Chain A
Amino acid sequence: MNGFLRFGLLLAGLIVVLLLTLAAFQLPIVDSVKLIFDGAFSDKFAWSRSAVKMTPLLLTGLGMVIAWRAGVYNIGGEGQFVVGAIFGAAVGKGLIGANAAAIPGGSLLILVVCAIGGALWAWIAGWLYVRRGVEVVISTILLNFIAIQLLGFAVSGPLQEQKRQVPQTDLLPDSLMLARFDRQTDVHLGTVLALVMAVVLTIFLYRTVAGYRLRLVGDNPKVARVNYIDPGRVQLSAMALSGAMCGLAGGVEYLGLVGQLGTTFPQQWGFLGIPVALLGGLNPMLTAGAAFFFGALFAGTENLARFTPAGTTIVYVIQATAVLAYVGLSGLKKARPKPEEETESTPS
């Protein structure tokens, strides 16, 4: 296993792209790198900011890994993230309303419901793909829009704060928030949860029969079918699991950081999970590495923005360039599996 080598190459490649990007925008390279490094690692506050940014990137990235490894190109992470959080907020409101906010396991309950919400949202796209032959790209784009509007409706309607002034939910009490390690920093239990999920997903993909089937379907659905594995069923489950991970990401962002939902809740984490997963080679542990790199880069470039006009937008350039370079070099041209062919013969 040359995991370390691959990780080293990934990191080296990303740093090269970072330097080239800084040069392309005529930013002072040495000073910029120092500002970015300080913003990401200089003290516990910087480390905390990096970890907080890494968390949603890692969870949505893992979500992408599951679906894409099964050959379903889910780009609906954003919608699944949002719908998961809406589901969670509904439970949160219920718990507060029932004066049960302090019950043990309240936050766990909310997180589970978030994952279910995300899974349901992704399941719609998976069902359309497997049973109706509709490209996941198209259905997830539609579902992303509906999710955003649903959020707008929820926070100005059924889930709105009790004062009914601002379109946002009530702030959750501390008893429902995820534990923080240090009162001064924002880093929360969700970061640990995300890392645990990376390990769990590694075990699932490489050490279980179900994980093996999932990879087989993504690599070669014909071989899977010959071996009595129904690619459609596997892909539908993969899509639901992927959505569950993105929904969980929404829940972790809600319970770990913001504590309330408003129209500014979606911060593109669902989309940004895609380049993270791709650069991690669709491998959970490498995805964790990529998520940490980009989390640190987001934290670092926020610091850069304080002293120079350039800011977090260069992270997008780096992600895009790195993805294009990566696929251009490695040629990710594996033909992807088609939707179930039985749909033509069995109208349902």
Chain B
Amino acid sequence: MILQYATPVALAATGETIGQKSGVIYIGLEGSMLAGAFFAMLAAQSTGSPWIGLVAGIAAGLLLALLFGWFTIRRGIDQVVVGTAINLLALGVTGTIYRTQFGKSGTLLSVAKLPPVFGKIDAVEILLLLSAIGLTWVLQKSALGLALRATGEYPKAAEAAGFSVARLRFIGVACSGIFAGLAGAYLSLGISGSFAENMTAGRGFVAIAMVTFGRWKPMWVLAAALLIGFAESLQFTLQAAGVQAPYQLLIALPYLVALTVLVVVGRGTVAPAALAEPYVKGD
């Protein structure tokens, strides 16, 4: 239950960690998730297979991320500007197609959900746990991980060492997009079995916040996302039990903790030094 709540945010946050490590803060994460959720549902509905849906969701998330990459990495345009536009684009496109295809509301779409693999755990949840471990290894131990981190810390050095900053950052952004697309697809196919306008409801931004909270380490980011899932499910448990608790403060707690950490230690040495800075070759 907690794992299911936490999975979309955790997946998106895991991908975003890789992107941020390469120096790109993908603000369009929310948009990639929403596009993933919508196109996964659309594909699953027309083919009847949730697996094809998952692939379509990933493709949609990736496509938006690559569009973001083209503007920010190739053209050096500010990441915040392009990311904001990507979010609006996804919100507008999915909302408009949804309304024109399926009517304003009313018609409840339902598609086949992902089947569980062991007990109640499904394939995406297993993939999440494996990828957090795998990505920790890639980032810390592999040559690619080292190069990725170097681009996020000091792109000039990476370029001087013979790596292409643009290519590495594209890899980082692509990871963000793929995981966000999968996260969105899981939201529509794994959890609700349906789609609603703006169904991600800020989860992409939660994921970005969790990357900060998890101090840019995949395992910690995963733990942070699970904590958020726990806080959210606790809210429903408390409400169901009729406990009069200011649960809003409970939900705000992880963000408050993340903010307090920033106030106390600041950017620190954990955050990639070149985060959100456009890199122009030979500048």
Contact = CB atoms under 8 A, between A and B. Distances in A.
Interface string B181-225: 000000000000000010000100110110010000000000000
Interface stretch (A1-9, A36-44, A253-261, A316-324): A316-324
Interface residues of B, number: 52
B3 interface: no
22 contacts: A25-B96, A75-B84, A133-B266, A137-B27, A137-B80, A141-B205, A141-B208, A141-B209, A149-B249, A156-B248, A157-B246, A310-B99, A314-B92, A317-B93, A318-B92, A323-B81, A323-B84, A324-B89, A327-B78, A328-B75, A331-B77, A332-B81
Contacts of A271: 84, 87
Interface stretch (B7-15, B119-127, B137-145, B253-261): B253-261
A26 B85 CA distance: 22
B105 to A, nearest CB: 10
Q: B80, B87, B202, B249: which has the most chain A beta carbons within 10 Å? A: B80
Contacts of A26: 100
A10 interface: no
Interface in B73-117: 75-78, 80-82, 84-89, 91-93, 95-97, 99-100, 103-104
A142 B259 contact: yes
Contact of B262 (A132, A153, A309, A339): A132
Interface string A285-325: 00000000000000000000100111101111111110110
Contacts of B240: none
Interface of A: 25-27, 73, 75, 124, 128, 131-135, 137-139, 141-146, 149-150, 152-153, 156-157, 271, 274-275, 278, 305, 308-311, 313-321, 323-324, 327-328, 331-333, 335-336, 338-339, 343
Given A139-B259, A152-B248, A156-B248, A133 B267 contact: yes
- Tell me the interface secondary structure of chain B in the complex: helix
Main secondary structure of the interface of A (DSSP, over half): helix
Contact of A310 (B76, B88, B96): B96
Contact of A333 (B77, B89, B97, B276): B77
Contacts of B246: 153, 156-157
